[in-house]
Structure 1
Amino acid sequence: MIQTIDLRGTPKTPAALLAAVPRALTSVTSATDIAAELIDDVRARGKVALLDQAERLDRVRPEQVRVPDSDFADAVAELDPAVRAAVEETIRRVRLASAAQVPPMVTTTVDAGATITQRWQPVNRVGLYVPAGKAVYPSSVVMNVVPAQIAGVSSIALASPPQSRFGGRVHPTILAVAALLGVDEVYAMGGAGAIGALAYGVPDLGLEPVQIVTGPGNVYVAAAKRLVRGQAGIDSEAGPTDILVIADETADPLLVAADLVSQAEHDELAAAVLVTDSVALADAVSARLGVLAASTTHSERVTAALTGTQSAIVLVDDLLVAAGFSNAFGPEHLEIQTREPEVVLASIHNAGAIFLGAHSPVSLGDYSAGSNHVLPTGGQSRFSSALGAYTFLRPQQIVTYSREALRAVSANIAAFSDAENLPAHGDAVTARFAQD
């Protein structure tokens, strides 16, 4: 059911490996025009545009875009106790992990009377997107909100698509988790239009623009985040999910297949890739994928993902090449199930999150590990990182020089300003000593 790409005996240059990477035919670029239309519509027509888009795309017209306060209390009261317990434990773990991502303020003395202080300042307001299309993601509420709170963000707006089965309201489980985290500014809006609304604001809703937009979503959400970048910052273009597993002959083919299926059930465009130097493992995983795909709840969706151009079993000569292929792929989720996973890890440079060993599946990171599951997709882990407290922080340098410390470098400043034909730069320094 899944394609096989045989790279054994072929050139192993980074360019050759990148060319062999399987990708979905539908890309963020292909969704850009539609996303732009939806964003422009929201900017032009505000609340009415959001309502019209909800009616057309979510098959329901919400009575209210901003969730009223009463809905939060009702949602918490109705939350399944087991789900609440799971949520609260995950909040605790993500808070611990996120706190480690806040750097301390550091002051460096470069000379007598001359210091540079590095501080990390949070943005004031953020917009967090929580998808709710093929599945509902209360876990994404936790993963978005907790790092922002740990960073010290004072104003949080959350958007999630209206649900037809709940009369156009945001899914009650998402509302309940938001309430447990103290977030009360929530909007029933989804897709590219919601991203535009967060970035530019919607005056007739009282929705103020945000400085950063974060959160996962479909290809249109990813395209919208690309489009609003510049008006607001973004975490990464977190579109359809992907998983890459590096495994050798010691891996359990059932566990490998189960992990591939677990991510394939997200979306028909999800990418599931196994890279191995073992033909026997490749054959065994392929056979088990067929069985699991046929029996899983979302069989049709899983089958579409596994048979898509973005999914494959890749045969390589050795695990060093496997690591090179993974670096070229830039996986959102990377699992390493080998005899010595730490050895393979030493050659890994690009990945959103890395799961070592047979007992660290991606599902653990999706929910309860304490790591963040909002990760760069589509190869963007080659230059982007997971969502974290640092996403909402800006490093700022505070320069403090005494009069004598400035005098000590005044000649250097004058030399630079003359070399760059910007003499006023030097004059701004020498003016301070004109009376000496």
Structure 2
Amino acid sequence: MIILKAENISKQYRLGLIGTGTISHDLNRWWHQVRGKEDPYLKIGEVNNRSTKGDSAYAWALRDINFEVQQGEVLGIIGKNGAGKSTLLKILSRVTSPSTGEIKTRGRIASLLEVGTGFHPELTGRENIYLNGAILGMTKAEIKAKEDEIIDFSGCERYVDTPVKRYSSGMRVRLAFAVAAFLEPDILVIDEVLAVGDAEFQKKAIGKMQDISKSDGRTVLFVSHNMAAVKNLCTRAIVLEHGQTVFEGDVDEAINYYLNSKEDVIAIKDIKNRKGSGVVKVLEVAVYGKDSMKSPQSGQPFHLDFTLDNHNDIKLRNIRFDLRIEDEVGQKIAWISNTLLSFKENEDISNRIVFQVEKLNLNKGKYYVTFYVAINNIMSDWVQNAFSFEVVEGDYHGAGKLVPTNESKMLLDFNVFYPM
């Protein structure tokens, strides 16, 4: 039986402003609506590509999404940051409405979208359990029957009568997940928030979701960057890219499609906050894994391919190129300083430089890159946190399993630096 159906779901946002931003646009929309005509602003807008500068003030976070979910199915929704995953879940959870399209559901939906979503900070954990249950349409007696199980699963018994505003983010996620899972919704919608919890709780949560779908016959929609969790939990998956569905089907095939997605080409030429003489500047960088069709993956080859503006034909022997890589909390993972030590006699001038790692020894996560270009030891181009890239899990040690997500990050070993 189909329990959820999404038909032609699209969501449009206006960049930089709240709502439409102008009274004239609101009036124009209203005038078209009363005449039974289409919203004029739905005819414009660009694809949601976060790495490029657009020409339109409108962007499509989602565009023409269609899928069906059967009762008891666990649907994984995967994609890179900015692909539209969270926007889709918010529409499915009725947190926001679509610009076009329709969602059809059967039964109650419980959502766990962000840390503490739906919790009142001034109420205690126990009071929030009853509040969320009431929102789901449950009676006080039904909630009371589940209260002890919820508190026990969350591991927050000592603090359950303390206001939620004093909880840590991990405690909020524990209690929110327990409430959503034990109050027996027909459809459970879960975003990446489980990453906030510790390894023990993540294991418990995934086990509970498996029980919900297999034993209770309830439906789960699960968004995560943890491919191991998606593979173990989901029965089917869809891949989003720039707000559009690019793959729907088997979980293993969806994960392979996601891991083998095309390179990210990041335009850096439009960045204004940079220092240096500008004699040689970085225009763009392509980030990819084993080849230009594969994403960076732990244990696989990795490339940072820089395109330079070298209009004065400065020889590469006179260019120094430095990279600093940091993790999401600003910890320095690697600092690489290179000058050209060897070159082909006829290829001493180039506008392209590639950093290559034969076996990427970074853990799953997001990393930020600062670069520094100098000509004869004089700064030519310096941009802090110029771009970021994501590393997906991989079998670094060749043990036949993915690297654990809680394993410490390792230092990079850039062993090749060459012009192209």
Structure 1 length normalisation: TM-score?
0.26
Higher strand share: 2
Structure 2 length normalisation: TM-score?
0.27
Higher helix share: 1
Larger relative contact order, structure 1 or 2 (CA cutoff 8 Å, min sep 6)? 1
